[in-house]
Homo-oligomer: A and B are copies of this chain.
Amino acid sequence: MNAARSNVQVEVNGRSYRAPGRPVVVICYDGCDPAYLADAAIRGLTPALSAMMAEGFYSSALSAMPSFTNPNNVSIVCGAPPRVHGVSGNYWFDRDTGKEVMMTDAGPLRAPTILARLAAAGVKVAAVTAKDKLRKVLAAGLAGPGLPGLAFSAERADTCTVGEHGLDAAEALGPAKVPDQYSPELSLFVLDAGLRLLGQRGSELVYLSLSDFVQHAHAPGAAASDDFIRAVDARMAAFLAAGAIVGVVADHGMTDLSLHDGSPNILYLGDLLDQRFGAGRFKVICPITDPFVRHHGALGGFVRVHVLDGSDPAPLRDFVAGLPGVHLALTRDEACARFDLPPEREGDVTVVAEKGVALGTRQGEHRLDELAGARLRSHGSLAERPVPFVLSQPLNPDYRARARAAPLYNYDIFDFALNGTETA
């Protein structure tokens, strides 16, 4: 560590962050619904996490809305909700061009990240993600030509170059091979890579973003879920043994959205709108859509409806709010005010499902075959907002008071890890 560094502070999106005095690892444990940890802790599957909770800090926190992966990962590294950084979905409808685009193709982030700012201030920063599309976003200002940090994905570790990722493929891969995109190993690769960066690179601030492949497929207590939890916990122990301060949050929880017989409980909003208002007047966008993810059929608890003919969205909102299975239907302004969303990427009507219900476009437009007979488990609604918030160190008195005074968000984790612990 550089002793002079202890005075380094950066301002990012309205908050100040101290450079770490010792290595800090922040993990986004994708899809880690609190129900997994409750059970796992009781059964002793998580000795390292349980020790962190007992000796450091644990709280239930809230995700940003929608409770999807990309908006929350970006919120976490920006320390701010989607209103600030503009990433409010995995996928959206560009009203100006009339095209549907993936977030990764939507242009640069409009807010700086904590990672980029601390790297620019001389801190050795690295980000490792499961999926490469997310790496591209998180690398903004951090890694790439002329930039000081590292950023790479498990999915494309074998294509790393010093120019783009800050390290070459041999170093990114280490002793491992590129794991299958649809496997628990994808997440474990990310954690193992983070460990190597701490040891071999002397990384001082590491952000590790996992995949929710296991949680989409398996309920708490399933053997595959237990195995994954144990494997993650073993890596937590290794981070602690390496002397790191570890922070863990999730991007969202996970809920079973199936009926008794295992078929999904889906409200096909596009079909209902066609029946009520006539076909072709609205576009229903499922912002969970992700061509690289096959385990949820693009079904989640949050969709946006765009009025294509520019008519008043109020009748649409009132109709949708009156559908059983819908928890909230809000106009753009209402949704942005309530959930801190950026208006330019919001639909005319924002729809949040009830717990246990999936929102879809039209029958036949979702790849239910991708579920391969498994129960649909997914997220996006208010029911998946609660997430774990864990720190391996006790909070200092100021941050203890803050944690009591107001709800924590997952995107408070860098603030708490860098500024809020007794010994950071």
Contact = CB atoms under 8 A, between A and B. Distances in A.
Interface string A351-369: 0001111000000000000
Given A322-B53, A327-B386, A38 B357 contact: yes
A247 interface: no
A43 B144 CA distance: 53
B327 A34 contact: yes
A354 B324 contact: no
Contacts of A218: 260
Question: Which of A34, A58, A60, A324 has the largest number of chain B CB atoms within 10 A?
Answer: A324
Given A38-B325, A324-B41, A325-B38, A220 B354 contact: no
Contacts of A255: 355-356
A388 interface: yes
Interface stretch (A16-24, A74-82, A261-269): A261-269
Given A260-B222, A265-B220, A265-B221, A38 B386 contact: no
Contacts of A38: 265, 267, 323-325, 354, 357
A42 interface: yes
A42 B259 contact: no
Contact of A253 (B267, B322, B325, B355): B355
Contacts of A222: 260-261
Given A355-B255, A355-B355, A322 B265 contact: no
A326 interface: yes
A256 B254 CA distance: 13
Contact of A354 (B60, B223, B321, B323): B60
A221 B260 contact: yes
7 contacts: A34-B357, A53-B323, A58-B324, A60-B354, A220-B259, A220-B265, A225-B260
Interface of A: 33-35, 37-42, 53-54, 57-60, 218-223, 225, 253, 255-256, 259-261, 263, 265, 267, 318, 321-328, 354-357, 383, 386, 388, 404
